[in-house]
Chain A
């Protein structure tokens, strides 16, 4: 990971290209890959982008810390879509192929993780490993530990809350797979997190458990120091911008919670509607059996209602599998973001407390002691990282919700289209004049 002075972190403050070391330059010797790499002025080929990738419709870049971005990279980013151009992306991760493993002690699912990369941090251009949920959980914990100043994406819920959902059902596994895939892709897209050593190990190690046992703790200097910030410092006031973020996250999580409840309620009502429809349709069949001339029309109506029922069932399944999980993910996301905000508060509180302590000691020369300076650095780094991540997060949140809600609208449109087709096709049947009596 990026070592060296905090100022060298890629996502902080305005710097000239020359001053920016390679993200992996000067990293601790524990780095298994690369070793000494000369600082390359052109960072752009070596990493994948986050905040610099998006040009908003009005032509401006998101107002984040101005990392040096080459004009070529800017030109490449002409659409709002977060899909990063294949040319500059150098890391691809996919989660697929779930398999069930039955052992004496337990039964569990593993997923195949496929990695393709041209980065020097990877020995081979391609990797394929199997991981289970536990492993993802480990990864996330490690990321939180080692990158406390960054927003770590959420994992799908560990335990199945709602009663009798089958952990091994196709639908559940598929929903989880999609969430895990999204998790890794979000990390892949992050300019700092994607270079995390634990992430690398997760993607490449044949035996992850061995690594887990080693307990590799490769932290950034900042990470290391932040980790040791003890609580107990009371923050007087959050700076405006972070207060605003905090308030936003609170309201955001609240609204998402409401939407989740509404969506669940709709699905519940739709299922109850479906139950009645499944009784309704067959009654027309029963009636049809009594009739002569009306037999075909009535049977037709019965079949039609049956088709609508099937379409409705598909709609409820889609909503349950595709819509609800994403909502829940974002609620978890904003929860973890709020705790990062709190950690930031801690760092600031420590700094302010130390500063105050210095100010009170009148006999000191008016020189700021080293440890207070360190606190200040820590705080400024944290603030910068957090702001950058927030920008990134806001943009991908917008994309995600746009896609999610358009998807919801689409599914409803498809449902109605199926029903429309069913009823339109039956009209000619109903209008048919029976010639033979």
Chain B
């Protein structure tokens, strides 16, 4: 079983007071549109039933999106989209679901939630949000955030995010997450009151640690490389896929021109006319079929994007480890140096450079009483330092253990999800081929009647 991190500050929820049900493995995503397949199986379905401590099961859905206008922080009018989040609790006995909560949230609030989770669960691979701006678009797709197709895909992405958090054995118990689903007003203030922004590690500190750490856990180093490469390869894949989609669109649409010219030609022909005319109609059908085909493919792209962003989450965990490890190394170094100093003072040899040594040379030796005092201070510091080092070590080990457990969980999830994504992609291609065969067979038959 995975444990919550040791830091007492982090534990905000007052034990299981408001139990958050663990979502059923076969979670139905109650979507406004047709149910989206890939999410139904849910991440971690195998492990959930084992860890099911809660009596109630819940269903979460982001069922609607609405355009709103309001005033922003600078009192300027802005347009944004709000999303309706509905939570249903499923009665254990008869499977009926009852709507328990319903509120509206905008994208920025989701971001806030995630940033909070990143700070308080640095050992967890935190599920990513759908992209803020449309990227990897091919020309027909709009890059406009207000475009209804983009909004729809984002709605699905946000729902997916909530489902992933809710099905995570640790994250699902978080109080702020619970409040996100249940407390519309004042939630932002509640989150900010946790002061999590202050606790966040500075990027600069993290970068520094990455470069200077001497002995990180090998597994994390490997994982870091993996996540970098994964990001790179999926980005490349998405870019090329967008271009492929663009070209494919062109091929299909140009065939539509046959429809018109066959029709015009058929007008001057006697026996050939009918065959040409009806074949032309099939060419029109062919040309218009590409729109649905490519729309389906966008879902595949979204599944890849999720893992592109997951790579960043992996990276974040590695960074945290590096930071902690660096911190530990610095503390150990500091302790060693203090011990050294102490020894030197005690024995009278000056091997290390110190300001005191410098001033001593300049202004004269200090008195034995002064020296004693300094030794005493140092010994206290050393003591403290040893305590700190011990707990840092402990923390570090806990972190590595817990993080690695979540990483293993993540790997399983990733392999499962991506396989499903590839299968559904293959199924899409098969469907496209079958449609193509159908249309051209129909056209061939019309030609044969010419």
Using a CB–CB distance below 8 Å, which chain A residues touch chain B? 56, 248, 251-252, 255, 258-259, 262, 265-266, 269-270, 272-273, 275-277, 279-280, 283-284, 286-287, 290, 293-294, 297-298, 301, 304, 398, 401-402, 405-406, 409-410, 412-413, 415-417, 419-420, 423-424, 426-427, 430-431
Cross-chain contact B254 with A280 (CB below 8 angstroms): no
Which one of A265, A416, A420, A430 lies within 8 Å of B422 (CB-CB)? Answer: A430
With CB as the reference atom, state the residue of chain B lying closest to A258: B261
Cross-chain contact A416 with B426 (CB below 8 angstroms): no
For B419, list chain A residues within 8 Å (CB): 294, 297, 430-431
Cross-chain contact B444 with A262 (CB below 8 angstroms): no
Q: Is B248 an interface residue (CB 8 A)?
A: yes
With CB as the reference atom, state the residue of chain B lying closest to A297: B422
With CB as the reference atom, state the residue of chain A lying closest to B437: A416
- The 9 A-B residue pairs whose C-beta atoms are closest, nearest first, are A409-B444, A273-B247, A420-B433, A416-B436, A405-B447, A255-B265, A269-B250, A412-B440, A287-B233
Segment of B143-151, B237-245, B363-371 in the binding face: B237-245
Ordered by A's residue number, 29 sampled pairs between the chains whose C-beta atoms are within 8 Å are A251-B265, A252-B265, A258-B257, A262-B258, A266-B254, A275-B247, A276-B244, A280-B240, A280-B241, A286-B233, A290-B226, A294-B418, A294-B419, A297-B419, A401-B272, A402-B275, A405-B279, A409-B441, A409-B444, A412-B440, A413-B436, A413-B440, A413-B444, A416-B433, A416-B440, A417-B437, A419-B429, A419-B433, A420-B437
- From residue A432, how far is it (CB to closest CB) to chain B in Å? 9
Cross-chain contact A412 with B268 (CB below 8 angstroms): no
- From residue B275, how far is it (CB to closest CB) to chain A in Å? 8
Q: Is B372 an interface residue (CB 8 A)?
A: no
For B217, list chain A residues within 8 Å (CB): none
Cross-chain contact A424 with B268 (CB below 8 angstroms): no
Question: CB-CB contacts of B424-450 with A at 8 A, as 1s and 0s?
Answer: 011101100110110011011001101
Which one of A277, A290, A298, A410 lies within 8 Å of B244 (CB-CB)? Answer: A277
Given contacts A293-B415, A413-B437, contact A255 B279 (CB under 8 A): no
For B240, list chain A residues within 8 Å (CB): 276, 279-280, 283
A252–B426 alpha-carbon span in the complex (Å)? 43
- From residue A379, how far is it (CB to closest CB) to chain B in Å? 27
Which one of B229, B271, B272 lies within 8 Å of A290 (CB-CB)? Answer: B229
With CB as the reference atom, state the residue of chain A lying closest to B250: A269
Given contacts A248-B268, A276-B247, A431-B423, could you give 12 more A-B pairs where the C-beta distance is less than 8 Å?
A255-B265, A269-B254, A286-B233, A287-B237, A301-B426, A409-B443, A409-B444, A415-B436, A420-B437, A424-B430, A427-B423, A430-B426
For A423, list chain B residues within 8 Å (CB): 426, 429-430, 433
For A275, list chain B residues within 8 Å (CB): 247
A134–B300 alpha-carbon span in the complex (Å)? 57
- Size range of the chain B interface in the assembly: 35 or more
Q: Is B236 an interface residue (CB 8 A)?
A: yes
Q: How many A-B residue pairs have CB under 8 A?
A: 134
Cross-chain contact A266 with B255 (CB below 8 angstroms): yes
Question: CB-CB contacts of B396-433 with A at 8 A, as 1s and 0s?
Answer: 00000000000000000001001100110111011001
Q: Is B264 an interface residue (CB 8 A)?
A: yes
Using a CB–CB distance below 8 Å, which chain B residues touch chain A? 226, 229-230, 233-234, 236-237, 240-241, 243-244, 246-248, 250-251, 254-255, 257-258, 261, 264-265, 268, 271-272, 275, 279, 415, 418-419, 422-423, 425-427, 429-430, 433-434, 436-437, 440-441, 443-444, 447-448, 450
Among B248, B419, B443, find the residue whose CB has the most chain A CB atoms closer than 10 A.
B419
A340–B288 alpha-carbon span in the complex (Å)? 43
Cross-chain contact B258 with A259 (CB below 8 angstroms): yes
Given contacts A269-B251, A412-B436, contact A283 B418 (CB under 8 A): no
Given contacts A287-B233, A290-B230, A294-B419, contact A409 B241 (CB under 8 A): no
Cross-chain contact B243 with A406 (CB below 8 angstroms): no
Cross-chain contact B448 with A406 (CB below 8 angstroms): yes
A252–B433 alpha-carbon span in the complex (Å)? 33
- From residue A205, how far is it (CB to closest CB) to chain B in Å? 40
Given contacts A297-B419, A406-B444, A419-B429, contact A276 B254 (CB under 8 A): no
Given contacts A406-B444, A409-B444, A423-B433, contact A273 B251 (CB under 8 A): yes
Cross-chain contact A409 with B447 (CB below 8 angstroms): yes
Cross-chain contact B254 with A265 (CB below 8 angstroms): yes
For B434, list chain A residues within 8 Å (CB): 416, 420
With CB as the reference atom, state the residue of chain A lying closest to B272: A398
- From residue B89, how far is it (CB to closest CB) to chain A in Å? 34
For B234, list chain A residues within 8 Å (CB): 287
A290–B234 alpha-carbon span in the complex (Å)? 11
For B251, list chain A residues within 8 Å (CB): 266, 269-270, 273
For B437, list chain A residues within 8 Å (CB): 413, 416-417, 420
- From residue B404, how far is it (CB to closest CB) to chain A in Å? 16
For A398, list chain B residues within 8 Å (CB): 271-272, 450
A248–B273 alpha-carbon span in the complex (Å)? 13
Cross-chain contact A405 with B233 (CB below 8 angstroms): no
A272–B261 alpha-carbon span in the complex (Å)? 24
With CB as the reference atom, state the residue of chain A lying closest to B270: A394
For B430, list chain A residues within 8 Å (CB): 420, 423-424, 427
For B427, list chain A residues within 8 Å (CB): 427
With CB as the reference atom, state the residue of chain A lying closest to B445: A409
A297–B424 alpha-carbon span in the complex (Å)? 13
Cross-chain contact A280 with B244 (CB below 8 angstroms): yes
For A286, list chain B residues within 8 Å (CB): 233, 236
For A415, list chain B residues within 8 Å (CB): 436
A416–B251 alpha-carbon span in the complex (Å)? 14
- From residue A55, how far is it (CB to closest CB) to chain B in Å? 13
A419–B433 alpha-carbon span in the complex (Å)? 7
For B264, list chain A residues within 8 Å (CB): 255
With CB as the reference atom, state the residue of chain B lying closest to A418: B433
Cross-chain contact B415 with A272 (CB below 8 angstroms): no
Cross-chain contact B447 with A402 (CB below 8 angstroms): yes
A297–B275 alpha-carbon span in the complex (Å)? 44
A272–B248 alpha-carbon span in the complex (Å)? 9
For A301, list chain B residues within 8 Å (CB): 422, 425-426
Cross-chain contact B250 with A272 (CB below 8 angstroms): yes
A398–B258 alpha-carbon span in the complex (Å)? 18
Cross-chain contact B233 with A290 (CB below 8 angstroms): yes
A251–B248 alpha-carbon span in the complex (Å)? 32
A272–B448 alpha-carbon span in the complex (Å)? 31
Among B234, B272, B433, B444, find the residue whose CB has the most chain A CB atoms closer than 10 A.
B433
With CB as the reference atom, state the residue of chain B lying closest to A417: B437
- From residue A296, how far is it (CB to closest CB) to chain B in Å? 10
For B448, list chain A residues within 8 Å (CB): 402, 406
With CB as the reference atom, state the residue of chain A lying closest to B256: A262
Cross-chain contact A298 with B268 (CB below 8 angstroms): no
Cross-chain contact A276 with B268 (CB below 8 angstroms): no
With CB as the reference atom, state the residue of chain B lying closest to A409: B444
Cross-chain contact A406 with B426 (CB below 8 angstroms): no
- From residue A390, how far is it (CB to closest CB) to chain B in Å? 13
- From residue B138, how far is it (CB to closest CB) to chain A in Å? 10
A23–B415 alpha-carbon span in the complex (Å)? 81
Given contacts A248-B268, A297-B419, A416-B437, contact A284 B237 (CB under 8 A): yes
For A402, list chain B residues within 8 Å (CB): 272, 275, 447-448, 450
Given contacts A297-B422, A412-B436, A419-B433, contact A273 B250 (CB under 8 A): yes
With CB as the reference atom, state the residue of chain B lying closest to A287: B233
- From residue B16, how far is it (CB to closest CB) to chain A in Å? 35
For B254, list chain A residues within 8 Å (CB): 262, 265-266, 269
Among A251, A287, A401, A409, find the residue whose CB has the most chain B CB atoms closer than 10 A.
A409
For B255, list chain A residues within 8 Å (CB): 266
Which one of B261, B415, B423 lies within 8 Å of A294 (CB-CB)? Answer: B415
A284–B425 alpha-carbon span in the complex (Å)? 13
Cross-chain contact B248 with A273 (CB below 8 angstroms): yes
A202–B440 alpha-carbon span in the complex (Å)? 42
